[in-house]
């Protein structure tokens, strides 16, 4: 079965949105996970709570908050527009932001677990060999937490591909701009005679999700082999 141009468009858009969302939130996710795992500071629980909030809030609420903050009239949105000419509302970049926020807790949790499971004494050993802290992080900590980073990235990517509520609330359902695969599927179900199209998208979604899982499993296995020798 050949894909129709509309399907290709939805798939490519979904991959682009999820890809950018994960790419941009990854450094921040590592930083926040590191902060939560390694430091005890006043407000630790508050930061932890804020990070996890999107996990328990209805996505529609997240989308609405984003609309209020980042919409063209919103305080942050207006500032971004004035200073950088960046518009997030009703653009695919906005869809990426919505996905990133919703998937962020999953990413942070997985990375934090791997940081907490890491043998800190290896970092100490690296410092006695003359390595400054930044180099220790890049050459020892980061490779050792790579399996957790990978898991977090895949989880977040999958969550982004499935993102619906926050996206439709924040950036609406604009063909070619914000109509990702789940939104396209939803749209099909809302029009008469759209069930065939919806069915095809469902199959595509399952194939993509499954491929991502298999790829991550293979990667994780390769990483573990590297670590264990």
Partner 1 sequence: MLTVDARLSRGEFALDAAFSAETAGVIALFGASGAGKTTLVDAIAGLVRPHEGRIALGDRVLFDSGAGIDLRPERRRIGYVFQDGRLFPHLSVRGNLLYGRRFAPRERRFATLERIADLLGLEAMLTRRPGTLSGGERQRVALGRALMAQPDMLLMDEPLAALDVPRKAQVIDYIERLRDEMGVPIVFVSHAVDEVARLAGTVVVMAQGRVAAAGPAADVMARLDLDPLAGIEAAGAVLEATVESHDAAYGLTLLAVPGGTLRVPRLGLEPGRRLRVRVRARDVSLATAEPRETSVLNVFRGRVVEIGPRRGASVDVAVDIGARLTARITARSADALALAPGRAVYALVKSVAVDPASLVQAEQDDI
Q: Contact positions toward partner 1, by CB under 8 A?
A: 119, 121-122, 124-133, 139-140, 143-144, 226-229
What gap in Å lies between CA 170 and CA 165, rounded to an integer? 9
CB 181 to partner 1: min, Å: 36
CB 149 to partner 1: min, Å: 13
By beta-carbon proximity to partner 1, the closer residue of 65 and 111 is 111
What gap in Å lies between CA 156 and CA 105, rounded to an integer? 8
By beta-carbon proximity to partner 1, the closer residue of 75 and 133 is 133
The encoded tokens of residue 159 equal: 């969550």
By beta-carbon proximity to partner 1, the closer residue of 191 and 227 is 227
Are 149 and 96 a contacting pair, CB within 8 Å?
no
Read off the DSSP letter of residue 41.
-
Long-range contacts of 115-119 (CB under 8 A, 24+ apart): 115/33, 115/34, 115/37, 115/38, 115/141, 115/145, 115/148, 116/37, 117/148, 118/144, 118/145, 119/144
3-class secondary structure, 191: coil
Helices (H), the chain: 5-38, 44-56, 59-70, 75-84, 92-116, 120-128, 133-136, 142-144, 146-161, 165-171, 181-190, 195-228
CB 224 to partner 1: min, Å: 10
CB 213 to partner 1: min, Å: 24
By beta-carbon proximity to partner 1, the closer residue of 42 and 132 is 132
CB 146 to partner 1: min, Å: 8
CB 11 to partner 1: min, Å: 35
By beta-carbon proximity to partner 1, the closer residue of 8 and 122 is 122
By beta-carbon proximity to partner 1, the closer residue of 62 and 145 is 145
Residue with tokens 């999700």: 209
């Amino acid at each position: 079965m050949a894909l129709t141009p509309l399907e290709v468009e939805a798939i490519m858009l979904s991959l682009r949105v999820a890809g950018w969302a994960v790419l941009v939130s990854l450094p921040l996710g590592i930083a926040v996970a590191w902060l939560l795992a390694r430091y005890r500071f006043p407000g630790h629980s508050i930061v932890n709570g804020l990070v996890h909030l999107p996990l328990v809030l209805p996505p529609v609420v997240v989308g609405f908050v984003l609309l209020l903050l980042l919409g063209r009239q919103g305080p942050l949105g207006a500032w971004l527009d004035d200073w950088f000419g960046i518009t997030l509302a009703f653009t695919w970049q906005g869809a990426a932001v919505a996905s990133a926020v919703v998937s962020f807790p999953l990413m942070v949790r997985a990375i934090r677990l791997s940081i907490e499971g890491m043998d800190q004494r290896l970092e100490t050993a690296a410092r006695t060999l003359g390595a400054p802290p930044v180099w220790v992080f890049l050459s020892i900590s980061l490779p050792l937490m790579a399996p957790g980073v990978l898991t977090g990235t895949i989880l977040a990517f999958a969550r982004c591909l499935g993102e619906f509520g926050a996206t439709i609330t924040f950036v609406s359902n604009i063909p070619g701009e914000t109509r990702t695969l789940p939104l396209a599927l939803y749209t099909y179900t809302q029009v008469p005679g759209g069930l065939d199209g919806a069915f095809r998208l469902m199959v595509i979604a399952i194939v993509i999700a499954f491929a991502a899982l298999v790829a991550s499993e293979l990667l994780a296995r390769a990483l573990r082999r590297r670590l264990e020798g």
